[in-house]
Structures are given as C-alpha cells and as structure tokens.
Amino acid sequence: MWQLRYYVLATIEVKDHHTGENLANEIKCIVEDFGISNTPVSGITTDNAANMVTMTTHLEWPHIRCFAHTLQLSVKAGLKIKEISSAAAAARKLVGHFKRSSLASNELKSRQRQLDLPQHTPLQDVPTRWNATYIKFERLIEQRLAIFAVLHNNNITSPSDARILELPDQVWKVIEDLVPVLKSLQVATTTISGTSFPTLSMVYPIVIGLLKNHLNMQGEDSTVLVKFKEAVTKDLSSRFPKSDHDLATHHAVLTCALDPRYKSLKFMTDEQRNLVKSNIEKFDTQTEQVPVEPPVAVKSENTDNAESNKAEVNAVSFLLGDLVDLTGEEVDAEKSLVQDIISSIGLETEQQEKATTGRLYSSAWEGSSSRGRKTLITNLCCLAAISNTGKGFRSKPRGKSGDGVPKAVQRYHERFTGNSCDGTSTKL
C-alpha cells in the first residue's frame, strides 16, 4: 500500500514586512538551498489572506486555497447576523461569569454531580479559533440545567446579576437551532484538516454535501436559521468556480475524479463530467512520464491510523449521506455478487433471466442508493441461506429470535420462484 509522507524543509522568521513579494523571495531561497528550484510544483496551499495570494502570483505556482479556512470565512458570514451575534455576545457574558467567579464555578461542579451531568466547564469562544462558537453553544446546551441552578441560588448569584446573566428563551432558541448546522460545519472542517490521508479530493463532495444535506432549507427552520443558512450558502458558493470550464480545471475537481471514492462525480452534470474527463486525458498526454517506485508494503498495525480512517469514513457518511455513491466498478461487483447468490439458490435459468432483467435491476437496483442495494443483497443472502437449508417461511418469528423470515425476503422469494410462501403460484 502507498504510505503518505510529508517533510518540513524550513521554519524561519520573516523579519521584513510580510508582503507577498517578500514571502515569495523567502520561499525561493529555501527551495534553492535544497536544490529543487527546477522541480515541478503541483501546488501551494495557503489561507485566503491577500498577501498569500500575492505570494503565489510571484512564485507562479498553482494556488490551492485552504478549504478549512475558506469554510470558516463562510461560517463567520453567517454568525454576523444580528440575532446570532447578539446571542453569542450574551452567551459570552454568561461563560465569562463562570470563568471569573470561583464561587460560581465550584457551585456549578456541585450541581453537575447532583444532576449527573458531565464535569465540563463552560467554554469561551475565541475569534481566531475555528468552530469556537459551535463548541461554546454545544457546551451551554449540555450544562443548561446546572447553569440555571447556579444562577437561581441567591447564596451564589445575586438576583440582579442573575437577571443580567440569564439567557432569555429566544436566545436559547437561537442556540438550539444553530447547533445541528454548526456541527456539520465543524465535522467538515475537522475532516478536511486530516493529516493521515489526502484531503483535496474531498473538497467538492463536502461542499456539495453541505449545501444539499445540511444548509438546505427545511420547512421547520426558524427565521434566524434560514438567514444563517442563506448567508453561509451565498458566501461559500461565491468562493468556487462559476463556469463549467473553470470548474472542470479546478485542482479539487480533478483530484476528486481520480479518487476511487468519488470518481463517478455524481454531483456534476453529464456535460461537466465529460469536461473533467477530457481535461484529465489532456493532462495525461501532456505530462512527462516519471518512473514511480512500486508501493512499499506497510503493516497495518497502527491503531491510530485505523481509528483515523474509521473516523474519516463516519464523517464523510454524515456529511454526504447517499450523495456520493459507490463507483461503477463497485456497483458491477455487487451485481456480480447478486448473480452468484441467485445461482446458489438453484433457480431455473429462465427464472434467473427474468429476475435479473426485470424489476430487480430496473427499479430495485439501478435507481436505488448504496444503502438500498446493500439491503437487497442482505435479503438475497437470507433467501439463499434458507433455500440451501430447506427451512420453510413464516410470516412471524416463533421460537428463538431470527427463526422467522423477513417479509422483504418473502417478497423476493415470490418474485424469483413464482411461488408464494404458502405454495400458491405467483407471477414474476
């Protein structure tokens, strides 16, 4: 397997003004010191600051803006909405009270034990810390009852202070409405900031996943939440290519098309996909072929990497849902598996042909999500096991758990064999 590697060439202090030109000159000196001035550079990643953009222009290297920083700028656009900024200011004052008062802090711990709440302290948000507002809001919701108890204990908090510090119901409503959406943005930021796996190919799937699954308008959304979603969506959309040509040549899209997880590009139109494919083919013919050493076998005993990969999969699943489905090769493999299962059941050839060319592929397969197809395979496996063991069908389980057959399996049995579970004949 391939092993991801990265190296730090230099860490230096730039004593001159941090202009784009000065920063570019410093980087040129570093690459000259290492004798790699003529080595092709695939790209340079920076934040969105103006001096960084100017620096990449002087270097004449492809500029790949940090997506995590881009996302945080879009989040800040949403947090500037008046109702949200007011709620954040009120929450900041409340958290600050527990930071300054040891008496209130100790009483909070006591109340947490009484209410069986986690022993967590309220967290303050910091403008330069990503996702700080989400973390602050989430912690306040978790500790709401304990905080309420402290503020209404006159021995700890004076009534006048309590009136100033206590958050009104409308502020709590804003906080509770925002937390689920802010969580999706926090997961996206954390995922794209991973260091144990490549992340550039994940940019566009995550953007589309956020826009379609988490920033889309829901009927029950409050007015404030709608404003937040609109502000974040508008800002985020403005930071990516508008035309099909610019989109099809974007580094994040090209790497996405080469990633086995996303190369079907299901979030793009047919015309856009064809443009991306054409650009990749053009790039392949124009690029000098460089000999590449074969991958080195690496033992997969690193539990940290395993946990990191598992966390990545869970995060992507949460962000994207069924938006990015299995690739064509994996779908073909699943179809082959289904055919093998059908064959193992021992059906006649004619019945197999009807099953595989009828409703199975036209409706239950081709138009279904990956989850739906996995359910289909599971049901077929049940059917195969039952057919091979000769067990009969029962609509309701009896005896030990699992003895009965799911109704879905019964329906597949009727479709494949032409016989209902009670022995009467049915049509495929």
Mean pLDDT for the stretch of residues 390-395? 43
Spatial contact of 66 and 48, defined as CB atoms under 8 Å apart? yes
Residues 58 and 72 in one domain: no
- Determine the Cα–Cα distance for residues 285 and 277; give it in Å rounded to an integer: 13
Chain segment 322-343, per-residue pLDDT in tens: 655 544 455 555 556 556 655 6
Q: Looking at the DSSP assignment, which residues form a beta bridge with residue 419?
A: 425
* Domain boundary residue, one of 47, 65, 83: 65
The number of angstroms, rounded, from the C-alpha of 256 to the middle of its chain's C-alpha atoms is 14
Residues 7 and 90 in one domain: no
Q: Tell me whether residue 223 is in a domain.
A: yes
CA angle 65, 69, 75 (to 5 degrees): 130
Residues 82 and 112 in one domain: yes
| pLDDT at position 382 | 59
| pLDDT at position 266 | 83
Residues 273 and 153 in one domain: yes
Residues 311 and 165 in one domain: yes
| pLDDT at position 287 | 56
What letter would DSSP give residue 136?
Answer: H
Q: Tell me whether residue 283 is in a domain.
A: yes
Residues 164 and 40 in one domain: no
- For residue 46, the enclosing domain spans 1-65
Q: Tell me whether residue 422 is in a domain.
A: no
User: Which of 41-55, 129-143, 250-264, 411-425 is the least confident region?
Assistant: 411-425
Answer positive or negative: Cα dihedral of 78, 84, 89, 95.
negative
Residues 216 and 146 in one domain: yes
* Domain boundary residue, one of 20, 35, 65: 65
Q: Tell me whether residue 11 is in a domain.
A: yes
389: exposed, middle or buried (Cβ count in 10 Å: 0-12, 13-18, 19+): exposed
The number of domains in the chain is: 3
Residues 197 and 255 in one domain: yes
Residues 42 and 89 in one domain: no
Looking at the predicted structure, is the pLDDT value of residue 140 above 90?
yes
Q: Tell me whether residue 408 is in a domain.
A: yes
Spatial contact of 135 and 179, defined as CB atoms under 8 Å apart? no
The token duo for 136 is: 């602050």
**pLDDT band per the 50, 70, 90 thresholds, residue 344:** low
Residues 49 and 96 in one domain: no
Q: Tell me whether residue 273 is in a domain.
A: yes
Nearest to 265 by CA among 217, 208, 309, 310: 208
| pLDDT at position 396 | 41
Residues 118 and 258 in one domain: yes
* Domain boundary residue, one of 14, 30, 65: 65
Q: Tell me whether residue 427 is in a domain.
A: no
Residues 144 and 246 in one domain: yes
Q: Which residues fall within 8 angstroms of residue 231, CB to CB, at 6 or more apart?
A: 77, 78, 80, 81
Q: Tell me whether residue 300 is in a domain.
A: no
DSSP secondary structure, 254-268, as one string: HHHHHSTTTTT-TTS
Chain segment 290-315, per-residue pLDDT in tens: 555 554 444 444 555 556 556 666 77
